[in-house]
Amino acid sequence: MKIAILSRDAKLYSTRRLVQAARDAGHAVQVLDPLRCYMNITSAKPAIHYKGRELTGFDAVIPRIGASITFYGTAVLRQFEMMGVFPVNESVAISRARDKLRSLQLLSREGVGLPVTGFAHSPDDINDLLREVQGAPLVVKLLEGTQGMGVVLAETRKAAESVIQAFMGLRQNILVQEFVQEAGGSDLRCFVVGGKVVAAMQRRAREGEFRSNLHRGGSAEKTRLTPQERATAVKAARVIGLNVCGVDILRSRHGPVVIEVNASPGLEGIETASGVDVAGRIIAFIEQHARPHRTRTRGKG
């Protein structure tokens, strides 16, 4: 097969591992910077051009689209879908995952466990909002934040009011969530491929920090999931519509609760901690499922 990887940097660990796994399996692979792809939208035959030539003959595309280029990156991916190329994750599903509010609403509708979450627009509603999420301590999250950025722990009611007012004053959309204290500054990253959890790790925040992201200095180790945790991760991926994703879960007194579904999870941390060849599992999924025009939306959504 001929596989395209949409990635801004061919030197990134995740991109290099996917290239290696594809070549080890005997496939041709090309890394494409999505921002250098340009499209003929008006043509009766959808086409993508890259650095002066038309892209043809691809059987599958692996999107590694960062949050900062979601709009243009998903447009490029949608064009591949219209050309009949099989996407590991569809553009519609990536857009769902990147919209934190929308993804939480979809998960809530399907009964997936979530932290108590509030969303409001007016500063006049802050007091009611704090009551809804059971008061401080609580977590305030920017809708557009990634890798732990734009996430603030407010330990007192006064601090919560100040943080929320500040974000609202900057016209930022925020979520307010209960702080799951029993998680102890750790969470689970469940890596889902094709409806199965293929690897899992427990991430722990560094001393003095509540965010467990590895980019924020957290540590990770291999962990065993309970059947309920595994089922929660698989259901969350299915609800959002992602074939490949990282589902982040907290262990709460009410059972597992999902805090995020990541449409472009990094491979280095999970492969190092778990010892699982996750890149190889992704390529095996492509080999099993890649067929022309085999998408739910075919670029329409």
Residue 132 assigned as binding residue = no
Residue 90 marked ligand-binding? no
* Bridge partners for 252 per DSSP: 255
Q: What is the dihedral of CA 84, 86, 89, 94, to 10 degrees?
A: -10
Residue 100 makes CB contacts below 8 A (sequence gap 6+) with 141, 143, 175, 260
Is residue 179 marked as binding?
yes
Is residue 229 a known part of a binding site?
no
Q: Is 187 annotated as a binding residue?
A: yes
Q: Residue 248, annotated ligand binder?
A: yes
Asked whether residue 167 is marked as a ligand-binding residue, the answer is: no
Question: How many other C-beta atoms can be found within 10 angstroms of the C-beta atom of residue 64?
Answer: 23
Find out whether 100 is annotated in a ligand binding site: no
Q: Is 212 flagged in the annotation as binding?
A: yes
Alpha helices in the chain (DSSP H): 13-24, 70-82, 91-98, 100-109, 126-132, 157-169, 227-240, 268-274, 278-289
Query: Measured between alpha carbons, how far is 283 from 251 in angstroms, rounded to an integer?
Result: 31
Integer Cα distance of 117 and 177 in angstroms: 4
Q: Is 260 flagged in the annotation as binding?
A: yes
Binding residues for Mg(2+): 248, 260, 262
Binding residues for Mn(2+): 248, 260, 262
Binding residues: 141, 178-179, 187, 211-213, 248, 260, 262
Binding residues for ATP: 141, 178-179, 187, 211-213
